[in-house]
Amino acid sequence: MKDSENIPAMMQELGQRAKAAAAELGFAPAAQRQQALEAAADAVWANRAEIIAANAKDLEFGRGKGLSDAMMDRLMLDEARIQGIVDGLRNVAGQDDPVGEVLAEWDRPSGLNIRRVRTPLGVIGVIYESRPNVTADAGALCLKSGNAVILRGGSESFHSSGMIHSCLVEGLKAAGLPEAAIQLVPTRDRAAVQELLTMTDYVDVIVPRGGKGLVGLVQREARVPVFAHLEGIVHIYVDKAADPQKALYVVLNAKTRRTGICGAAECLLIHREIAEGLGADLIRALVEAGVEVHAGAGLQLDGTLAATDADWGKEFLDSIIAAKVVEDVDGAIAHIRAYSSSHTDCVLTEDDAVADRFFERLDSAILMRNASTQFADGGEFGMGAEIGIATGKMHARGPVGAAQLTSFKYLVVGDGTTRP
Amino acid sequence: MKDSENIPAMMQELGQRAKAAAAELGFAPAAQRQQALEAAADAVWANRAEIIAANAKDLEFGRGKGLSDAMMDRLMLDEARIQGIVDGLRNVAGQDDPVGEVLAEWDRPSGLNIRRVRTPLGVIGVIYESRPNVTADAGALCLKSGNAVILRGGSESFHSSGMIHSCLVEGLKAAGLPEAAIQLVPTRDRAAVQELLTMTDYVDVIVPRGGKGLVGLVQREARVPVFAHLEGIVHIYVDKAADPQKALYVVLNAKTRRTGICGAAECLLIHREIAEGLGADLIRALVEAGVEVHAGAGLQLDGTLAATDADWGKEFLDSIIAAKVVEDVDGAIAHIRAYSSSHTDCVLTEDDAVADRFFERLDSAILMRNASTQFADGGEFGMGAEIGIATGKMHARGPVGAAQLTSFKYLVVGDGTTRP
């Protein structure tokens, strides 16, 4: 552990080391990075007892702090969860290597051959909250994409993250890569976050992964570019041309499969003409499934609560859904434009014109038709692991996997070619 | 002209109008945007006398301000240059439309079909200096890519830019597009720039196009993301395995074809073993061509000046070049890492291993082999018009054409598909 009295100096040193490591990683062979991740997976499994012991300290700290059961559950590691971390590391290790991929190649009349080739971004700062497995996930994705990373975990997972990080460093050493390729901020002091957000000389991009409070702080304070990860205020519009059976399956799955993930549905918009028919059926099915429905006018059936203005644009992350009648697809679009977080929004309809309009006139990172919004996930998109779902429009958008953590450069080859 | 007493309020209004226009542009058909650009080209040509008259006022203002001859030349518009603006507008109008392009499409085992589709970014702020033609170029590229734009021209070109902007608005009106799709800040007051840089609610990205002072100001002050356009501190490394004839052609072209563009060579790095041979020949050829050579040790031939430390990493933008002996390709790489602006750097060699090392270990936006650095240009890359060469790694990099001014969204189609 470093001297945490002088946070800015400590963070500058982390930054310098990260930048130097990034320069080496920029041309480290794919096989070497893969080897490091596999060795890290081995180390995590070999050290599972130590990780669980470190986690016990974190759980004790959490209990002392009075964390909620949900928070305590996120924090907890057991052998099964450690197996999950190991699998995650091996999964990322086995993915196609993005660095050096030729994204495009063309010849010019001038005689030049031009290639656009994928390169790492440089140094990535990842700031996250309680779940200690993010240490492994984020570290692995950054290394896979040839980036150096500075990880800043939640204070609750301090010891667990520290042990997992040690295992990642073991992997780096085993593969002969610089240890500073994956660094963990060695203090709980919040001043370190402030510093990380403004180290424009050393950090190329910040990825915040956590709740609204964290993301808001990062967006307000950062001088380094941020891959915005807003909350998932996910809407489903049930059109009058929706297939009732599909609608029932999709709505229930989108809300109830897992309520705590960012792709969970939070608001149901129902076409006026079907409010009393399919709309009522959906509300009843949700109530039966134990969901608390905050229903607007025309949908207030038995077992529902009356919706208030505070329900629109709210991410419940719980077994709660808001429901509202809208005039038609344009009414749904207007509501979504006003309240969506540009994460994922969905239309249920058999009418192609309605779906086209929904797809054209909305600009969420992910737009869906007749599919559960719980599919909003890098793994389900086929990208392998993800570091989160970006809701901004700069650089990365939607699920952020290894490829989205890269940039590119142009390689231009002539033969003594001059410009007239 | 608006009331410029209250700049923040005026800029907020511009921002609101731009955002509303962007929402419409997001789904305006390609043909409509193309029609607007063609009508704008017609309007510029029809109003050439008025543009030249407005330009005369700017030239008078410039003379009063004591602008240099080079600056006055950049400012000046005549019929030939207006023809150039018209051609530029028609050229952009005729390019393939980037919006809606399917960048990738795949099916998932879950039954989902996923498309990644190009979308506009939203609202772009372009801040530029004296050349009034940028008003048309930047306005056209932003419209082509479906974005609304707020243009802020140099105070010197105030009247010329205003007239050109009126013609763009004529084009928008003719095509039935919102006039606020292309707005020009209607005041010379510098407070407007400050405001534009911090309007995160309305502006999605800032593109600074100009000298070091402007770009530095933008990077320091902006709260909105910036497509960094640093100066072009362009290096050419002449390897011991360089072909002498190719080297001569390329070096002379890279330095002398046009000295005022960002792709012009500014520093020659010469392998130690050929300093006295090919190196001396190159220096002599440059001196003969009228170039002022600031030569380091071992290259100080007749007609050269001795280089000082201030010459490394300097963008001369003039008939001046720095020259230095380096140990080998690694010496060149080290020098370039220390002094390059990550714009364009070039290696002259017949040795593939040397070229590979140069391409692998450097990370400029454009790396070249045996080609003149004056090719660092969107047109020469086949991208049509460009708004500049981005030297950052976020989002856009290298020549920024219409396609680089876009983002994307995912369109996901199922058939009542739920996640297990």
Contact B375 A204 (CB under 8 A): no
Mutate to test the interface with B, among A206, A330, A352, A393 (most CBs of B within 10 A): A393
Say yes or no for a CB contact (<8 Å) between A409 and B360: no
| Contact: A367, B418; criterion CB under 8 Å | no
A46–chain B nearest CA distance, Å: 32
Separation in Å, CA of A195 to nearest CA in chain B: 17
Q: What integer pLDDT is reported at residue A71 of this predicted model?
A: 84
Q: What pLDDT does residue B199 have?
A: 93
In this predicted structure, the answer to whether residue A1 has a pLDDT above a threshold of 50 is: no
- Shortest Cα distance from B159 to chain A (angstroms)? 33
- Amino acid residing at A106: W
CB atoms A367 and B225 under 8 Å: no
**Of A371-375, B93-97, B355-359, minimum mean pLDDT range:** B93-97
CA–CA distance, B4 with A404 (Å, rounded to integer): 43
Parallel, antiparallel, or unpaired: how do β-strands B320-326 and B265-271 relate? Answer: parallel
Asked if A337 lies within 8 A of B23 by C-beta distance, the reply is yes
- Chain B residues within an 8 Å CB radius of A119: 363, 393
Closest Cα in chain B, distance from residue A157 (Å): 30
Nearest CA-CA distance, residue B336 and chain A, Å: 13
Q: Is B68 helix (H, G, I), strand (E, B) or coil?
A: coil
Domains observed in chain B: 7-227+400-412 (3.40.605.10), 234-380 (3.40.309.10)
Measured in angstroms, the CA of B166 and the nearest CA of chain A are apart by 29
Is A381 in contact with B418 (Cβ distance < 8 A)? no
Between A204, A398, A415, which is nearest B246 by CB?
A: A415
Which of B361, B368, B410 lies closest to A366 in CB terms?
A: B410
Interface size A-B, in CB pairs within 8 Å, comes to 194
Q: What is the mean pLDDT of residues A377-400?
A: 89
Q: What are phi and psi of B347, to 5 degrees?
A: -120, 135
Q: Quick check: A108 and B372 CB within 8 A?
A: no
Residues written for chain B: 420
Tens-place pLDDT, residues A32-77: 999 999 999 999 999 999 999 999 999 999 999 998 888 898 899 9
CA nearest B247 in A: which residue? A416
Contact by Cβ (8 Å): A1, A119? no
Distance from CA of A418 to the nearest CA of B (A): 5
Residue whose C-alpha is closest to residue B112's, from A140, A399, A62: A399
Q: pLDDT: is A116 or A227 the higher one?
A: A116
Measured between beta carbons, the chain A residues lying within 8 angstroms of B372 are: 414, 417-419
CB-CB: which of B363, B372, B398 is closest to A418?
B372
Handedness of CA B2, B6, B8, B9 (dihedral sign): negative
> Which of B363, B371, B394 comes nearest A414 by C-beta?
B371
Q: Which residues of B touch A252 (CB under 8 A)?
A: 418
| Strand A398-399 with A389-390, pairing | antiparallel
What was the pLDDT predicted at B223?
86
Lowest mean pLDDT among B229-238, B277-286, B316-325: B229-238
Task: For residue A119, give the nearest of B247, B363, B413 by CB distance.
Answer: B363
What is chain B's mean pLDDT, rounded?
Answer: 94
Out of A204, A367, A418, closest to residue B412 by CB: A367
Confidence of residue B2 (pLDDT cuts 50, 70, 90): very low
Give the model confidence (pLDDT) of A183-192 as tens digits. Answer: 999 998 989 9
Would you place residue A261 in the very low, low, confident or very high pLDDT band (cuts 50, 70, 90)?
confident
Alpha-carbon gap: B313 to the closest alpha carbon of chain A (Å): 18
Question: Are the beta carbons of B394 and A407 separated by less than 8 Å?
Answer: yes
B96, B99, B261, B412: best to mutate for the A interface, most A CBs within 10 A: B412
Query: Residue B41 forms beta bridges with which residues?
Result: none
Token reading at A119: 């390169």
pLDDT tops 50 at residue B341? yes
Across chain A, mean pLDDT equals: 94
Please list every residue in chain A whose beta carbon sits closer than 8 Å to the beta carbon of residue B374.
Answer: 418-419
pLDDT computed for residue B1 by the predictor: 44
Instruction: Tell me which of A125-129, A201-205, A214-218, B186-190 is least confident.
Output: A214-218
* Two tokens, residue A215: 């993301």
Confidence of residue A4 (pLDDT cuts 50, 70, 90): low
- Cβ of A369 within 8 Å of Cβ of B398? The answer is no
Of A119, A380, A417, the CB nearest to B419: A380
3-state secondary structure of B334: helix
Distance from CA of A359 to the nearest CA of B (A): 7
Check pLDDT > 50 for residue B129: yes
Distance from C-alpha of A197 to C-alpha of A216, rounded to nearest angstrom: 12
A18 near A148, Cβ under 8 Å?
yes
CB atoms within 10 A of CB A183: 24
Q: Is the pLDDT of residue A3 over 70?
A: no
| Candidates B243, B381, B394; nearest CB to A395 | B394
CA distance A161 to A169: 12
Half-sphere exposure of A284 (CA within 13 A, CB side): 7
Tens of pLDDT, residue by residue over A120-145, are 999 999 999 878 999 999 999 999 99
**Which residues of chain A make contact with B197, given a CB cutoff of 8 A?**
none
pLDDT range class, residue A2, cuts 50, 70, 90: very low
Mean pLDDT is lowest, of B143-147, B162-166, B226-230, B372-376, for B226-230
Report d(CA B232, CA B340) in Å as an integer: 8
Are residues B163 and B51 in contact, defined by beta-carbon separation less than 8 angstroms? yes
Do residue A381 and residue B205 have CB atoms under 8 angstroms apart? no
Half-sphere CA count of A149, side-chain side, radius 13 A: 32
Say whether pLDDT at B261 is over 60. yes
Percent of the residues in chain A that have a pLDDT greater than 90, as a whole number: 83
Which of A200, A208, A348 minimizes the C-alpha distance to A274?
A348
* Better pLDDT: B18 or A393: B18
Residues of A in contact with B121 (CB under 8 A): 393-394
Flag if B371 and A408 touch (Cβ within 8 Å): no
